[in-house]
Chain A
Amino acid sequence: MNEQDLRGLIEDVRRGKLSRRGFTRAMVALGLTAPLATQMLMHSGVAVAAEKPVYKPTKRGGGGALKVLWWQGPTLLNPHFAVGTKDQDGSRLFYEPLAGWDPDGNLVPVLAAEIPTVDNGGLAEDGTSVTWKLKQGVKWHDGHPFTADDCVFNWEYVTDPATAAVTIGSYQDVKVVKVDDHTIRVEFKKPSPFWADAFVGSVGMVIPKHLYEPYKGAKSREAPANLAPVGTGPYLFVDFKPGDVVQGKLNPDYHMPNRPYFDTIEMKGGGDAVSAARAVLQTGEYDFAWNLQVEDEILKRLETSGKGRVEILPAGSIEHIQLNNTDPWTEVDGERSSIKTKHPFLTDPAVRQALNLLVDRASVQQYIYGRTGIATANYVNAPEKVVSKNTHYEFNVDKAIKLLDEAGWKPGADGVRAKNGVKLKAVYQTSINAPRQKTQAIVKQACQKAGIEVEIKSVTASVFFSSDVANLDTYPHFACDLQMYTTTMTQPDPGVFMRQFLSSEVASKANKFQGRNITRWQSEEYDKLHQASEKELDPVKRAALFIAMNDLLIKNVVVIPVVGRPSVAAAANNLHAPLSGWDNNTYALQDWYRDS
């Protein structure tokens, strides 16, 4: 798949031979994001109009109570402090961005009057700025008008390092200028291929200037509005107990007609995913449940109760196995997996290929994840014609054995292969989570058959995913041979995501293990491709560069992708809840309604 192939596909879309959705799916399967795919189409002049979700209610309110379950409840309601998606989801009840991402990667206006394009003059041709027109007549919940000053303030608030906002990454490289009361211009320091970051989606929620101005910077924690949000969203704030419940009631002045439908909303937290699924699908106590990391077998069984359905949306998360390029068992300068070392056997391409053949993705999908994890080598889901010929996935123990034999790894007396005194013994770690432990069991069994001894290790998630510099069990330390977890592509642009394999990003003691390159794989070729992608303004050329990077990763077995993980939710049968895998679950909360 190169630039020309991509252009060919776009041409197919133009001629109607390939649906827009089909194109988006293909791009997602290639490891790109739906928003980038849409950008490619737009740039190539293929008209993109977001499909408006069906909305039947003809008047505001009257829908009664909406009860949703977030098994990890929101712990704070300031979107700029959001620690995880749960906090963003909770904030979205009250706060809104200028635009959100729909499931096909289209931008849909929320507080913006329209989506900026080159045609309507919103986008600068040279990619140095974007101008947003704001909706008129929008009011904060306390009656203050929403204006351009609020947007400019959000930028100032977030970029003040003393505020310590987690959204700073989306705002620090731009400058936000007020053009008039209802127009702002976001100026980029250099031509930027991806412009829809600040003020868009989960990082784009706007907080009111008149309540937050005194609490910018060091005093950011003390703002009373942190705990009692005043936004522009469809619901007014009623009550908040961190980790337990968020309550809201209908906003009678909401800026979209006939919305919202429900009179009150309750977002309940706590418990576990399985029982959350049970409460929606089996007993119908709740209308909606979020992020159901539950085995599909269980979901299917619960669905047979007929009270609700499971919603599965493509998203950019990939469960993958990382291969350590450095030696985790030798300490150099007090550091294990130091970049100064080389892994004793994982640097042998034959061993890497063999491991790739020993991961039975089809079984992992079929018997563990089902609909909630689609086997992938990054390429499989795409339509026939985009499947790359040189990368595919295969489970073949015999072939793995042959590869190892040819490379000189001979089985020893204990059945474990060895070469020059190096034994194929690997420690394989992951976080504690039932599907992961089962995947480990499946991989371990296959490896055993091929003469690779695998020791399974599992670390409690709160330790594994921490950034504790002193603890060897965290994933950035990677103090073992193989490890598995899901990387989530939270941001719509793959550029940031792809930084994870840059030579300059190698995690090490020197950078307190904050480098993003965990596998410690280094490739000049990859670095150059990434460099090029940062300057490329043509989204199609850029996509081709990302695909080339992706190819490199797969060809060298830097990582072994196992399954792509869509976002999974459960909804009551009579609930209409438009969802998107590229934005928060609550991104279109105003459009939710119930069949009467």
Chain B
Amino acid sequence: MIASLVASSALGGRRAARLFERNLLVTRHIWLVVAAGFFEPLFYLLSLGIGIGDLVGQVEVDGRLVDYRAFVAPAMLAASAMNGAVFDTTFNFYYKLRFARTYDAVVSTPLGVDDVALGETLWALARGGVYAAAFLLVMVVMGLIGSAWAVLALPAALLIGFAFAGAGLACTSFLRSWQDLDVLQLAILPMFLFSGTFAPLAAYPAGLRWVVQATPLYHGVELLRSLCTGAVGVSLAGHVLYLTTMGVVGLAVAGRRIGRVLLA
């Protein structure tokens, strides 16, 4: 029983890896566009770091004063992990699911719907992981890492990507048109702007703070900021739990819903 479970999940992993291979091959044709994805958070970091960093000076994190650049950099990393995963699993996935009908051909092969969901999630994670590693390198060079805990920043960024990839796939399976994607975009923007990304949570009114603390990106930002500045505490477990649950639930919902679209 257990042996067959292990065998089938190994098989599932291998099948999902085939979809991963497909995406890798596509990347070879558009490598410049893919590489460009790294620059967006970098541009934000430079703009805010150089331009605004001087004006702001220092901000308070858990009672300690931190340079604004070191404050904003982990947030950019978290936001970029979110944006990358969301883009891959919404726009890109919707295009392949409904418009190009790429997966209709895939499910005619031994690959199934679960393999599609798993393969796309793995892909989003791998791509996000490469961006995150490059960004962390820039942070090291710019001297924005304040703690050895930062070695955990890469897996933490992957966890953020996983959470949003799962949720993204689940959302996409409910979308009916490109206009619905605009609505989704309208939900991402406030998260990007308010999750303690650009300013400490204390800057906002109390009511808004509660709302922000309920949103996933806030937990991602807090997680990365703690690791990069060294303000590590028990609350990290809460962030990790929140993000893990979100990814797992999202993936489970997506697996069922996508089946209904592809296997009617």
A pairs with B: no
